[in-house]
Amino acid sequence: MTRLLRLLPDLAPWRSSSDFRLLWVQGLVAYFASFMALIALPLQIKDLTDSPLAVGAMGAVELVPLIVFGLYGGALADAVDRRKVIVATEAGLALLALVLFLNALLPQPLLWPLYVVAAGVSALAGLQRPALDSLMARIVPHAQQTAAAALNSLRWQLGSIAGPALAGLVVAYAGHAPAYAVGATGFVVSVLLCRRLSPAPPARDAEKPSLRGIVEGARYAWSRPVLLGTYAIDLAAMFFAFPNTIFPFLADDLDAEWSLGLMYAAGSVGSLVLGLTSGWTSRVRRHGLLVVAGATGWGLAIAAAGWFGNVWLVLLCLAFAGAGDMLSGLGRSTIWNQTIPEELRGRLAGIEVLSYSVGPQLGQVRAGAMAGWTGTRAAVWSGGVACVASVGLLCLALPKLLAYDAATDEDALARKAAAVA
C-alpha cells in the first residue's frame, strides 16, 4: 500500500503555496472557457463556408501573432508585474469571447470577425504564457518544481478531456452563441481569481521590453547546452511525430471511422494516467533523462501507431505516446524553473512558448505533406522513427542534457541559492 501511495501525485506545491492553488483552479476554469471557443469557432467557420480550407486558414492567422507576441510577452514579463499581465490578458480574452457571442447573435453572422478574434486570441496567449510560466519559479519552492509541473499537467489533461466534451455538447444542443457566452463567463471568473494572486513585480533594475532584451534572452539560451537541448528535442519530437492532422485519414485506412474521436483523446488519457501516478517523479534528479526518455517513448509509440493495423493497438500506442510526451514535459519544465535566473525568466519563457507551440504547427504540415506522398500510415510510422533518430543525434550533440543533475548543476545550484536568499 505504501508503494502505491508513493505513486500518487505529490501535493506539496498545493499545500505550500496559496498562489499555486489559485493558479491551478484559475487554469482549469480558463481551459474550459478556452475550449468553448476552440470547439465552437472552427465549427462556426465550417457552418458559414462549408470549406476545409477556410477552417484550416485559422492556423495560418494564429501562427504569426503567437510568435511575435510570445517573444514580446517574454520581455514584458521581465519588465512589469506579471500578475497585471495575466489579469489584463484574461480580461482581453473575455472581451474577444463577447465579440464572438455578439457576432453569433446576428441574423447572418460575419466571417471576418472570426479570423480577427482567432488572431487576437493567439496574440493574447503569446503575451500571457511567459508571465504564467515564469511565475511558477517564484511561487513554488525550488525542490517542488517537478511536483508542480506534474500537477499543472494533470490539470491540463483534465481540461483537455472534459473541456472538448462539454463544449461539443453545448454547441450541439445550444448553438454557437451560448458556447461563446459560457466562454466569456469563464474568463470573467478567471480574472477574479487572478486578481487574488500576490503581486509579482519585476527586478528593480529591470529594463523596458525591447528587441535588445529579447536578443539577450536568446543568447543566454544559446549559451546553455542543457536549455538548448530541451528546446531542440521538443521541436524535433513535434515536427517529426505530430500526426493529429491526418487522424481522419488514419481512421479511414483502418476502416474505423468511429475511432476518430478516440484517437484525439487517447494521448490525453495516457498523459492523465501518468499524471495520476507521477509521485515518483518528485524524487528524480536527472531531469534531462526524463526529457530524453519521454521524447524517445513518444517517437516509438507514434511509430508503432503507424505500423499496426489494428485500431485498438493504435489507440493504445497513442495513449503511450501521450504518457511519453507528458514525461518529457515534466523534465523540460523542471529544468527551466530550476536553472533560469529570475531576471531572464520571462524572456526564456517566451522562447519556451515557441518551442512547444511552433513544433506542432509545423508537424501538422509535415504529416499532411508526407501522407500525400507516401500514404497515411507510412507518414505516421516514418515520423516516429525520425523522431527517435533525431533525439539520439541531439543527445550526441548536446551530452550535457543527459548529464544534467539538479544536485550538481551550477545553474540549478545558483537558482536554488537565490531562491533561499
> And the C-alpha cell for 273?
494516467
Least confident range of 48-52, 190-194, 306-310 = 48-52
Least confident range of 8-17, 48-57, 239-248 = 48-57
Given a cut of 70, whether residue 6 has pLDDT beyond it is no
- Rounded to whole angstroms, the Cα distance separating 414 from 421 reads 11
pLDDT > 90: what percent of the chain? 40
pLDDT for the residue 147:
85
pLDDT tens for each residue of 59-108: 678 888 888 898 888 889 888 899 999 999 999 999 999 999 999 999 99
Return mean pLDDT, the chain: 86
DSSP reduced 3-state for 140: coil
pLDDT for the residue 63:
80
pLDDT confidence bin for 245, thresholds 50/70/90: confident
Q: Which of 386, 45, 41, 302 is nearest to 180 (CA)?
A: 41
User: What is the three-state SS of the chain?
Assistant: CHHHHHHCCCCHHHHHCHHHHHHHHHHHHHHHHHHHHHHHHHHHHHHHHCCHHHHHHHHHHHHHHHHHHHHHHHHHHHHCCHHHHHHHHHHHHHHHHHHHHHHHHCCCCCCHHHHHHHHHHHHHHHHHHHHHHHHHHHHCCHHHHHHHHHHHHHHHHHHHHHHHHHHHHHHHHHCHHHHHHHHHHHHHHHHHHHCCCCCCCCCCCCCCCCHHHHHHHHHHHHCCHHHHHHHHHHHHHHHHCCCHHHHHHHHHHCCCHHHHHHHHHHHHHHHHHHHHCCHHHHHCCCHHHHHHHHHHHHHHHHHHHHHCCCHHHHHHHHHHHHHHHHHHHHHHHHHHHHHCCHHHHHHHHHHHHHHHHHHHHHHHHHHHHHHHHHCHHHHHHHHHHHHHHHHHHHHHHCHHHHHCCCCCCHHHHHHHHHHHC
pTM for this structure?
0.77
What is the rounded average pLDDT of the residues 155-183?
81
Question: Contact at 8 Å (CB) between 167 and 379?
Answer: no
What is the rounded average pLDDT of the residues 359-386?
85
pLDDT > 70: what percent of the chain? 96
Q: Which of 187, 198, 240 is nearest to 82 (CA)?
A: 198
Given a cut of 60, whether residue 5 has pLDDT beyond it is no
Least confident range of 170-179, 296-305, 326-335 = 170-179
pLDDT confidence bin for 353, thresholds 50/70/90: confident
pLDDT for the residue 419:
64
> And the C-alpha cell for 213?
532584451
pLDDT tens for each residue of 96-127: 999 999 999 999 999 999 999 989 998 999 89
pLDDT for the residue 56:
63
Output the DSSP codes for 281-308: GGG---HHHHHHHHHHHHHHHHHHHHH-
pLDDT tens for each residue of 208-232: 877 888 888 889 989 999 999 999 9
Rounded to 10°, the helix 345-374/211-222 angle is: 70
Output the DSSP codes for 30-82: HHHHHHHHHHHHHHHHHHHH--HHHHHHHHHHHHHHHHHHHHHHHHHHHHS-H
pLDDT tens for each residue of 22-41: 999 999 899 888 878 777 88
